[in-house]
Amino acid sequence: MSRATKILNISLSKELYKEIEDTAKEENRTKSELLREAFRQYASNKRWSQIRAWGDETARRMGIKDEEDIDKILHEK
């Protein structure tokens, strides 16, 4: 039977390890919980960055410069 979780070993500087350890203790969490949350936040930020880049490219391609341009597009007949 396989585990529901996987183990990941990483290397950290002593300073970063201490900061993670202290933060986990301060927040009454495990280091694993803290690092899982950190990665989820990283992945979320990356997805939003990709969405913003897509929006910027779309706006550039369509010549949208401000909210007035968007309003014109939405209310075209």
pLDDT in tens, 5-27: 899 999 999 999 999 999 999 99
The CA distance from 5 to 58, in Å, is: 40
Amino acid at 18: K
pLDDT in tens, 46-77: 999 999 999 999 999 999 999 998 898 888 86
The CA distance from 30 to 21, in Å, is: 8
Helix boundaries (H) for the chain: 14-26, 31-62, 67-74
Q: What's the pTM?
A: 0.71
